[in-house]
Chains A and B, each alone.
Chain A
Amino acid sequence: MDKITLKKEYLNYGIIALILIFPSFFFGFTGFTTFLGFFVVLVFPAYLFLGLANIDNMERVLLSVFLGIIIGALLLWYLDRIFSSLKLSIGISAILFYSLALFLLYIRKKNQKAS
């Protein structure tokens, strides 16, 4: 990775970290964990899935928030119909969403390499 790309990556991580940490300035650890929870369970999985759509970064980032919090919550609701425990459903959804997203991304990368 060249220096400019690396700097861009660091900037991106820095902004994500700022968004996650900023609420804690006002609401302490509660603010941080609230944001972290939504990011880990709903937003980032949506971001990974949207990597399959071949859209530009701004679209991908914003869509991961908008779709993650609602479509992600809907899928969580369906899981809860099966498991009858929100906390358990959260854990299972995280495992499922991440596994599926990473698997699909891996398949796509493999297909791209093959072609």
Chain B
Amino acid sequence: MDSFQLKDKIALAVLFIAAFWLWTIPLQNSQMPFGEHDAAYIFAYGDEMSFRDKSFDITGDTPLSTLFWYAGYNPVLGPTGLQYPPPYNLGYALAQIFGSGRIVPPYIFVAVTCFLSVFSVYFLARKLYGFSVALVSSSALLFSFREILMYLWGQRHNVTAYAFIPITIYFLYKYIDSYYSGEEKIKYLYIFFLLLLSTFLIHLSSTVFLAIFSIIFVLIMAVMNRKLPISAKSLKHYGIMCIIAAIVVSPFYWIYFGPTNVETDAGIKDLGSLFLWHKLPQNKYDMNPAYTDYSSSYINYWTIPILIFGAFVLLWRRNKEDILMMSALLTLYILFHLPAFGLIEPGNYRVGRFVVVESYFFYITMAVGLLAIPSLLPISGKQREMSRNAIVVAAVALLIFTQGVQAYKQLSGSYPPILRITPAQYALSGWIEENVAEDSSVHLIGTLTYPKKAFIQVLSRRVILRSDEPPGWREIVEKDLGKFNIPSNLVKGSDMAISLDYVVFDYSDLVLIGDREKIGNFMKMEESMQNNSTLVYNKDNIRVYKYNG
């Protein structure tokens, strides 16, 4: 029987409609870009590719606007090197081309690729545990507080890469299961391998999770079956995969392994933390504390017994499917405890992001636990079935009225107009692009937030100094980068430098919020410009001066 039944198609269609409506609320409310600093940075890549009608080479092609952002981050590739492999960013460019728009189409792409985890989790849970568990766990993920936060902030490629995890581990499971059943199906290993490579092409953290998971899962299955899942007749396939990996990985290797900013100091640092599932660092990974808070993501603390019961069910049954789930949970445990062994510094945001992946497996574990309850009751088979259906309905309803309402408020209240580029600022970006030369830059003063300045910068396709300090800089300099590939018009000795010829006084936000003090301060700065500059733009409470000479 085809496993893709009518109820699956309906469920997936309903989930898609709900997810698309919910996750695009910020875009429905306003068609101006939203997000923090990283959102603007990633947007710039795709935007530039569609603008030039050309995707990026590994070095030499990155947008001018982002050159000075992370100039010294990658000591191998330098300031013109890609910070991410191209495919995900290419999605932004393709969206702009297909949708014939600069903002809305890539943001549709972003929303859809971020909520892909709903379908990935549905797929994994459906295959392992059936329709009911799939429906409950994917409904929970539809309203995932942590994923929504990362989607809003701008770590979108990370969220997309994580969405691949459930579907990828499933295909490893399928291969291992086929091997130990005596009917090895190498196609599943190829599919797993392609999905693994896909995560490498989006964000390395997902590949790290999958690598650790694969080792754990394969070892456990090998111990259970007293044999490693390696066959001589598949050697040529392993060889083919190695060749494909080399071809795909090698062009992008230095993107990830050029920077060396993960500090390690191996040794036992915090033994006590090993007795906790996840000891949160004091800095909460430099993120909003709600991001790591249990009750924000799992309704409230009363769901902990359900989670524990679900974990107990997995441990008790120890079917292949349960081994897979436990391997995933063990992988998370290891990742959360890397600081305990000095393998990464405590509080490193890279560890903190894995709480998003925790949600996938916690939701499935809770659903398994909930739906195992009728099996414990002395009731008939039909009553058991009815009880399960009732639990599904109750769980989904509870999720909608708790996490769903929270998600709706989160999304509909995110990035109000004042926190996004206004039409006046969008027009300013266009003016800068048309009137400021590529070997010149702009000092932007007054725009309300740093991310808004970042979006003005990337939309203008020019280098912008985003400080609110008084004007006076005549160039922006990044020192000691001469050994890298820098555009010839920006090289100054061993430094990368660009002439700063324009100063923008953006009062538009300050007028809207009525901040007279700041307006007064900036107007004094503006007065100091009168003798040595010319007013070249004056519109909607935004004034641009060009230095004379």
Contacts and interface: CB of A to CB of B under 8 A. Distances in A.
A joins B in a complex: yes
Given A30-B100, A74-B201, A22 B54 contact: no
Given A37-B94, A86-B50, A90-B94, A74 B87 contact: yes
A70 B187 contact: no
Contact of B54 (A36, A65, A73, A85): A85
Given A58-B4, A66-B120, A27 B104 contact: yes
A114 interface: no
B97 A86 contact: yes
Nearest to A40: B98
A70 B201 contact: yes
Given A63-B191, A70-B87, A71-B194, A22 B17 contact: yes
B108 A11 contact: no
Interface residues of A, number: 47
B191 A87 contact: no
A66 B3 contact: no
Contacts of A6: none
B248 to A, nearest CB: 7
B113 A34 contact: no
A90 B49 CA distance: 13
A53 B13 contact: no
Interface string A39-69: 0011000000000011111110111011101
B100 A69 contact: no
A58 B90 CA distance: 27
A101 to B, nearest CB: 15
Chain A, interface SS category: helix
B126 A58 contact: yes
A61 B122 CA distance: 13
Contacts of B422: none
A1 interface: no
B94 A77 contact: no
A61 B4 contact: yes
A97 B87 CA distance: 17
Interface in B69-101: 86-88, 90-91, 93-95, 97-101
B246 to A, nearest CB: 14
A73 B94 contact: yes
Most buried by B among A18, A36, A59, A61: A59
A69 B113 contact: yes
B195 A57 contact: no
Contact of B99 (A30, A63, A71): A30
A38 interface: yes
Contact of B198 (A27, A61, A67): A67
B376 interface: no
A34 to B, nearest CB: 4
B97 A87 contact: yes
A84 interface: yes
A19 B13 contact: yes
Given A30-B101, A67-B194, A77 B164 contact: no
Given A73-B94, A77-B90, A34 B99 contact: yes
Contacts of B8: 58
B9 to A, nearest CB: 6
A62 B119 contact: yes
Interface stretch (B20-28, B138-146, B475-483): B20-28
B195 to A, nearest CB: 7
A99 interface: no
Given A26-B28, A63-B191, A34 B88 contact: no
B198 A71 contact: yes
Nearest to B86: A77
Interface of A: 11-12, 15, 18-19, 22-23, 26-27, 30-31, 33-38, 41-42, 53-59, 61-63, 65-67, 69-71, 73-74, 76-77, 80-81, 84-87, 89-90
Interface of B: 2-4, 6, 8-9, 12-13, 16-17, 20-21, 24, 27-28, 49-50, 53-55, 57, 86-88, 90-91, 93-95, 97-101, 104-105, 108-109, 113, 116, 119-120, 123, 126-127, 163-164, 167, 187, 191, 194-195, 197-198, 201-202, 248
Give 9 nearest A-B pairs by CB, closest first. A37-B98, A34-B99, A73-B87, A57-B4, A58-B4, A70-B198, A34-B105, A80-B55, A30-B99
25 contacts: A18-B17, A19-B13, A23-B108, A26-B27, A27-B28, A30-B100, A30-B101, A34-B104, A37-B98, A53-B187, A53-B191, A56-B2, A57-B4, A59-B123, A63-B167, A66-B167, A67-B194, A69-B113, A70-B88, A73-B88, A74-B86, A74-B201, A81-B57, A86-B55, A87-B53
